[in-house]
Amino acid sequence: MMGSENYHPLQQEEDEGIEQMETLTLDANNSSKDDDISISKSYSNYRSAMTTLSSSSAEHPLLSPPSIGVSDPLLSVGSPSYADVVFTPPESTSHVDELTISPRSQSSSSEADYLRISVLNPQKVVEPSNSIVPGGNTYITYLITTNTNISDYGGSDFSTRRRFKDFVTLSDRLSEGYRGYFIPPRPDKSVVESQVMQKQDFVEQRRAELEKYLRRLAGHPVIKKSEELRVFLTVQGRMPLPTSIDVASRVLDGAVKLPKQLLGESSSVVEPQDAVQPAKGGRDLLRYFKELKQSVVNDWGNSRPPVEEEDKEFLEKKEKLLDLEQQLTNASKQAESLVKAQQDMGDTMGEFGLASIKLTKFENEQAVLHTQRVRAADMKIVATAAVKTSRLYRELNAQTVKHLASAAFFFLDTLHEYMGLMLAVHNAFSDRSSALLTVQTLISELSSLHSRTEKLETASSKIFGGDKSRNHKLDELKDAIRVTEDAKSCAVREYERIKENNRGEIQRLDKERQADFVNMLKGFVTNQVAYNEKIANEWAKVAEETSKYAKEST
Amino acid sequence: MNVQQRSGSGPMAQSPRSPSSQPPYLTVSVSDPAKMGNGVQAYISYKVITKTNLPEYEGPEKIVIRRYNDFVWLRDRLFEKYKGVFIPPLPEKSTVEKFRFSAEFIEMRRQALDVFVNRIASHHELQQSYDLRMFLQADEQSMERARSQETGIFKKKPGDLMQIFKDVQSRVSDVVLGKEKPVEESNPEYEKLKNYIFQLEDHLAEAQKHAYRLVKRHRDFGKAVNLLGNSEGNDLGKAFADLGAKSEVLSVKLQREAHHLLMNFEEPLKDYVRAVQSIKATLSERANAFRHHCELAETIKFKEIDMNKLRLTQSEKLAEAEREYEELKADGAEATRRFETIVKLMNEEIVRFQEQKTIDMGLAFHEFAKGQANLAKGIADAWRSLLPKLEACST
């Protein structure tokens, strides 16, 4: 069919993409019953959606392009599942059209500078050991596939195999090279024993985490253009990035120490699908926020020790963050009581309905007079509506919990990012302060040397030819000072640069956050509208059917 | 409240001496609750306004002050005098001190008392009662005197009512005379009615319990929604501020619906339960009357045997015995007549009751549905109005 001589890989991909889109759309529709699974997928997709900064315009939620790598089961259901989290219309799909939510899934094909990455196909590698220690070195490698239109890459499709250690290296290199930027944290090294590594579940979990991580990197406007990432994604064979550890990795370790819960992937946190159980839903929100509090405490412990100079900006921001953390804790309690109240309403309505149905049956069985049957019929209408309403409340509540839990993740994410940014600047600040201190020390050394030199020069001018060794020492000192001054200027410039990067990052974050949060609110509100309309219709019908009594009475 | 609306008992009996060409009317209202007295002695008094053109009543309008216990007195007197009639139920006497004077409780009680008096005024038997006239017209001192003369005999607690039935059961086992005399009616219609009433009470009580909870849930929901508005995220100020404002609106709607539910749905259900309990009291009166009639019949039989013995022996006690026998026969006839009256009245009453309950519950269902529809629609509208603002936020 490809009669044309030109090969258009992009065009072909789009065609395949459309086919895949259609499949996925069907899958998304069918998955609506599978609440548990779709929610955890929603969260994983939400998180990957969160990291990708694309300027995609408003797209129809169900038709956003899917990722490549359909073999991944986690992805095969509704790629832009943020829309799932946001809104599942009750039976009708008309509301979906009204939504103009733009989920930030992987970039659309119309986007400039995209990187579409997948992590696939974990394979065990056994290296015969060269050391005295018997037994081989066993590890898992993952196939990394990349599709891109970034010109620096010099190609559009790449694939290479990497192991976890390579990811650590990449992460370390990035934090050195991009100080002041928020570097998305890599998956934990975690306490992994080799036995555990064999387990399918762990490998699958890690694969998913690594994929998310790379996608977050690819979504960062600056990092996606980085040399380090390009090398990681494209170079075959052993990864050429140096693995040396330096000061910068201290920052990284600090970020990595954040509890796994923040990444939303630890099994020690109640899984999002459990959060959907209406009865527990509210309580889990509280738990998320408790963990947030803990992570804040942990993180401050990883900031650099205070220096002579006080970083006032940092201290102010720290106060603000702690404030925000308190506000969020309060909000979580209130969200919990809202969920509970909504739940109780639905339950009681249902109980009332059932009791009424029993009463209806009773009256019908015992009826002696016609009027009893009439009354029983009326009661049945009411009972049926009550039971229906109860079911609608239950559905609405499940959605509400989804929204609120997703809001919880959202806030955790945001705070995490802010904290990382703040720490980066704070650490840069302390670097600068150290550099300044060093320079000051050297300058005072220099001035004492100068005074010694003067004395020397006065003395040596009386000697012909001067004192060569002392002159040499002087020159050395002057060189040292020059170098140190340069280093100081560097440190100061570096600090300013980092601060500038930081400011840009914070602005970018603020805008993203705003957009995301508003989208979430929209989803929550739209749901409330839809369900309450349904409930109103049910009762309006009953009111109509019993309106004869109202007329009789007036 | 106007007489014609409240019951299907038919038009009022026309008084032959009614002078005016106007149709006879008797309208009563219970209003203006006011707290009287202090401390432990404190109570609520109500204004009872009667408007009528009936000759038995003094003048076209009369206003008296009554308290809850006066209504209880009236109910007890009617219960004594009109056996077989389902006496309209009274709202419960609340023993919880704090609740006793809450505005909502007082309003609920006032409404229920108003309904109570009007049901009596529109019942073709009860409306002719002298006690009703006394209640509606007597000055406060006479009323108090009448109330204090009331002895405990007429005050039947629900526990006492059940005891009567229990006594009946135990007497069955006591009867070891070999005489197959039932002390309770074995008439299948009666059995069916009795079972129906007892089971109905259980079913209704359960439905009413859930209705009560539903009211509470609305209030709780209102509170929870309100709290959500108070939590603010400063960075996203505008969006949150709007959300908060809406929450306030929603909270008010929910609280209002809670009140509407209470007055127009839960209260009618409670009233239904009370009515059924009143019927149970009437059932026990019927059982009493039946037992009384049976006992007398038995006594008469024994007396007849005695009399015949005396006749044979030609004792001088015969004349006295014959006199006693005639008295007993008269009493027996009276007891039988009373019992049969109760049965007849009850048969009419049950039909009237069922008709009325269908209307009452139909209206209650309608109010319930209307309220829920309005509430849900209001909530949907309130949320929907937020969307354009959110839309603006994201651009």
Among A286, A325, A528, most B C-beta atoms within 10 A, so best to mutate, is: A528
AA identity, residue B75: R
Which residue of B234, B372, B386 is in closest CB contact with A525?
B386
Q: Hey, what are B386's tokens? A: 């937020």
CB A24 within 8 A of CB A66: yes
Residue A59 has pLDDT above 80, yes or no: no
Check residue B294 and give its pLDDT: 92
Q: Which residues, listed in sequence order, are joined to residue B45 by a DSSP beta bridge?
A: B34, B67
Give B165→chain A minimum CA distance, Å.
22
Q: Looking at residue B127, what DSSP letter applies?
A: G
DSSP character for A59? -
* Chain A residues 493-522 with a CB less than 8 Å from chain B: 510, 513-515, 517-519, 521-522
Nearest CB to A546; choose among B236, B362, B376: B362
Q: Of A342, A542, A548, which has the smallest distance from its Cβ to B369's Cβ? A: A542
For A336, nearest residue in chain B (alpha carbons): B224
pLDDT tens for B355-385 read 999 999 999 999 999 999 999 999 999 889 8
Q: In Å, what is the CA distance from A319 to each residue of A262, A304, A469, B218, B315?
A: 21, 17, 56, 39, 115
Answer yes or no: is pLDDT of A545 > 50: yes
**pLDDT of residue A434 exceeding 90:** no
**Edge-to-edge order in the sheet of strand A115-127:** A115-127, A137-148, A157-163
Are A521 and B239 inside 8 Å of each other by CB?
yes
Does B217 reach chain A within 8 Å, measured CB to CB? yes
Confidence at residue B177, expressed as pLDDT on a 0 to 100 scale = 43
Distances (CA, A) of A104 to A44, A79, A118, A185, B353: 13, 10, 17, 19, 65
Give me the amino acid identity at B290.
F
Cross-chain Cβ contact A355/B203 below 8 Å = yes
Kindly give, in sequence order, each residue whose CB lies less than 8 Å from that of residue A526, ignoring residues fewer than 6 positions away.
Answer: A86, A87, A95, A98, A99, B387
**A252-265: string of b/e by CB count within 10 Å (b at 16+)?**
bebbbebbbbbbbb
Indicate whether B120 pLDDT > 70: yes
Mean pLDDT of chain B: 82
Has residue B213 got a pLDDT over 80? Answer: yes
Residue linked to tokens 């009384």:
B292
- Compute the distance between CA of residue A150 and CA of residue A144 in angstroms, rounded to an integer: 17
Q: Which amino acid, one-letter code, is at A273?
A: Q
Cross-chain Cβ contact A552/B380 below 8 Å: no
Which of the 8 DSSP states describes residue B51? Answer: E
Give the integer Cα–Cα distance in Å for A90 and A278.
17
DSSP B6-34: H--S-SPPPPTT--SSSPP-EEEEEEEEE
Size of interface A-B (CB pairs under 8 A): 190
Joined together, the tokens standing for residue A443 give 């300058």
B251 or A472: which leads in pLDDT: B251
DSSP codes, A296-360: HHHHHTTSPPP-SS--HHHHHHHHHHHHHHHHHHHHHHHHHHHHHHHHHHHHHHHHHHHHHHHHH
B266 DSSP 8-state letter? I
pLDDT of amino acid B358: 94
Answer yes or no: do A348 and B214 touch at CB < 8 A: yes
What is the rounded CA–CA span in Å between residue B90 and residue B71? Answer: 8
Long-range contacts of B326-333 (CB under 8 A, 24+ apart): B328/B296, B328/B299, B328/B300, B328/B303, B329/B300, B331/B296, B332/B293, B332/B296, B332/B297, B332/B299, B332/B300
* CB atoms inside a 10 Å sphere around CB A311: 21
| Maximum distance among all Cα pairs of chain B, rounded to whole angstroms | 118
Interface membership of A365 toward B (CB under 8 Å): no
pLDDT band at residue A69, thresholds of 50, 70 and 90?
very low
Q: For the segment B252-302, what is each residue's pLDDT rounded down to a tens digit? A: 999 899 999 999 999 999 999 999 999 999 999 999 999 999 999 999 999
Mutate to test the interface with B, among A330, A370, A392, A542 (most CBs of B within 10 A): A542
Per-residue burial over A321-344, b if 16 or more Cβ lie within 10 Å, else e, is beebbeebeebbbbbbbbbbbbbb
pLDDT in tens, A146-177: 999 888 888 899 999 999 989 989 988 887 77
Tell me the sheet residues that pair with B43: B36
Average pLDDT over chain A reads: 66
Put simply, the answer to whether B383 touches A532 (Cβ < 8 Å) is yes
Residue A234, SS3 per DSSP: helix
- φ, ψ dihedrals at A313, nearest 5°: -55, -45
Name the token pair of B238.
């505008």
Closest-CA distance, B363 to chain A, in angstroms, reads 5
Confidence of residue A446 (pLDDT cuts 50, 70, 90): low
Instruction: Please indicate whether residue A265 or residue B101 has the higher confidence score (pLDDT).
Output: B101
Band (pLDDT 50/70/90 cuts) for residue A517 is confident
Residues 321-360 of B with CB under 8 A from A: 351, 354-355, 357-359
Residues 394 to 453 of A: which have CB under 8 A from any B CB?
none
| Neighboring chain B residues of A341 at a CB cutoff of 8 Å | 217, 220-221, 223-225
What's the token pair of residue B250? 């929603």
CB contact B227 to A (< 8 Å): yes
Q: A107 and A215 in contact (C-beta within 8 Å)? A: no
What is the value of pTM for the model shown?
A: 0.65
Digit-coded pLDDT (tens) for B125-183: 999 999 999 999 999 889 888 888 765 544 555 545 554 454 444 444 444 444 444 57
pLDDT of residue B174: 47
- Mean pLDDT, range B59-79, rounded to an integer: 93
Interface check for B34 against chain A (CB to CB < 8 A): the answer is no
- The ipTM of this complex is 0.82
